[in-house]
Amino acid sequence: MSNSSTKIVVIGPCYPYRGGIATFVSYLCNLLNKHFDVTLINYSMLYPSVLFPGKTQYDESKDLVFSFENKRLFSSLNPFSWVRTANEIKKLNPDIIIMDWWNPFFALCFRGLYIFLPKEYKKKILIVAENVVSHEGRSIDKLLTKIGITIGNAYIVLSDKVKEQISYYAGNKTIYKSNLPIYDSFDTVHKVHTRKEVCYKINDGDFVLLFFGYIRKYKGLDIALESMPAILEKIPNAKLLVVGESYDDWAAYEAIIHAHDLQNHVEVVSEYVPNEEVEKYFSVSDLVLLPYRNATQSGILNIAYGFDKPVVATSVGGFTEFIEEGKTGLLVKEVSPESFANGVINFYNNYRNVDFKTNIQKIVAANSFDKIIEYVKDFGANIR
């Protein structure tokens, strides 16, 4: 197929929705649109309000880091929208249909759309899988995933962990391996922030640890908090900066803070951070913490790399692929407060001897997300 005439329909969330999935889809569409004729079909409804754990599903940022013109047609739960979306696809007559998959909750709408698509379009579906099953691992996830994700004729994954998971459902279908892009566009203003301006508890001489993003059980904030007493024994000037909206009961985390008398060592910004404010929290931090219980890949890791910030992370999921031990961060083998504390302490004792910034910049320069263009071309050339 000719690149100039190849038409692609992408189905996935983007602005006005917020969060990492919407950011990724917008980034993907902007990249694809440099090579193909891309139409993005957005969700008219993503999650029902009663099921959404946060304050809002919508991006209230003043600055849009990534966006893409879109048609809000597709609903996760409304079958009539599946018919409308199928009709829109027929009208657009694309050569390739790319669907973004990240959660089994969307299995029924994927399958519903597939049912209403004419036969000639069913063979054109390429699925980009950011996750396979949800991080929380509900018992019904495998069934829902089988219902939804198997409509794809080939798959693009962003980590070896997801490739391993999707192999169970893909059979003999092609699986292409790419990487999550490095998001280096949040630093849009290059303002200089003093630490006091950002958080009143943080002083210039403090060693600042940053936990950033949605607070959910699998991301291990409790592990980071439980590790702080041991960290403070060796690094008395350590401060933990927790920034993000909690999807869990915050009282459990507050209890840990009080149980270990950490009130003067932990600063909490309990809200979703708009794009224009992301930079200030990374700019005042020395180290980004990723104490995850499980992971595929992490947008937070790539945002950290975008700000040249090293990380300490647990050795789960895709972290082992994307963190170069001793060069861009440290990996902790055991998912426990004790091991995580040792990881942070080891980093502190050695970080002055390593040029983490240069090493991270090399990783950013070598990011291979652009390979996705070749994968899409290959998929299109093999449609029969």
Give the pLDDT of residue 12.
Answer: 97
Residues 105 and 228 occupy one common structural domain = no
Exposed, middle or buried, 351 (CB in 10 Å: 0-12/13-18/19+)? middle
- The C-alpha atoms of residue 152 and residue 94 are separated, in whole angstroms, by 16
Q: CA-to-CA distance for 35 and 7, rounded, in angstroms?
A: 10
Does position 2 have pLDDT exceeding 70, yes or no? Answer: no
Q: Which residue segment(s) compose the domain that 169 sits in? A: 7-181+367-381
- Find the mean pLDDT for residues 351-363: 93
Helix crossing, 221-234 with 337-350: angle to 10°?
50
* Banded pLDDT at 53 (limits 50, 70, 90): confident
Among 31-35, 126-130, 253-257, 318-322, which stretch is predicted with the lowest mean pLDDT? 318-322
Residue 106 within a domain: yes
Residue 77 is predicted with a pLDDT of 96
User: What's the domain count of the chain?
Assistant: 2
Q: Residue 8 pLDDT more than 70?
A: yes
State whether 206 and 122 are in the same domain: no
Average pLDDT over residues 44-62: 84
Do 29 and 89 share a domain, yes or no? yes
pLDDT at residue 187 in the model: 57
Q: Domain check: are 361 and 375 in the same one?
A: no
Higher pLDDT, 302 or 256: 256
CATH number of the domain bearing residue 312: 3.40.50.2000
What percent of the chain stands above pLDDT 70?
Answer: 95
In this predicted structure, the answer to whether residue 135 has a pLDDT above a threshold of 70 is no
pTM comes to 0.87
What average pLDDT is seen over the chain? 91
Instruction: Say if CB 293 and CB 332 are below 8 A apart.
Output: no
Q: Which residue has the higher pLDDT, 334 or 135?
A: 334
One domain for residues 201 and 177: no
* Whether residue 95 is found in the same domain as residue 29: yes
Question: What is the residue whose two structure tokens read 């609903």?
Answer: 75
Region for residue 317 given its phi and psi (left: phi exceeds 0; alpha: psi -120 to 50; beta: otherwise) = left
pLDDT at 288 over 90: yes
In angstroms, what CA-CA distances link 331 with 66, 205, 228? Answer: 30, 25, 17
Answer yes or no: are the C-beta atoms of 176 and 153 closer than 8 Å: no
CA angle 36, 28, 305 (to 5 degrees): 140
C-alpha span between 24 and 56 (Å, rounded): 19
Mean pLDDT of 134-139: 65
What value does the mean pLDDT take over residues 236-256? Answer: 95
Residues 240 and 273 in one domain: yes
Digit-coded pLDDT (tens) for 78-115: 999 999 999 999 999 999 999 999 999 999 999 999 99
Query: Mean pLDDT over residues 15-39, rounded?
Result: 94
| Cβ–Cβ < 8 Å for 208, 286 | yes
More confident residue, 348 or 187: 348
Q: Is the pLDDT of residue 197 over 80?
A: no
For range 338-365, the mean pLDDT: 94
Q: How confident is the model at residue 191 (pLDDT cuts 50, 70, 90)?
A: low
Q: Do 235 and 128 share a structural domain?
A: no
Q: Quick check: is 163 in a domain?
A: yes
Q: What is the pLDDT of residues 146-186, one digit of tens each?
A: 999 999 999 999 989 899 999 999 999 999 999 888 876 66
Indicate if 14 and 118 belong to the same structural domain.
yes
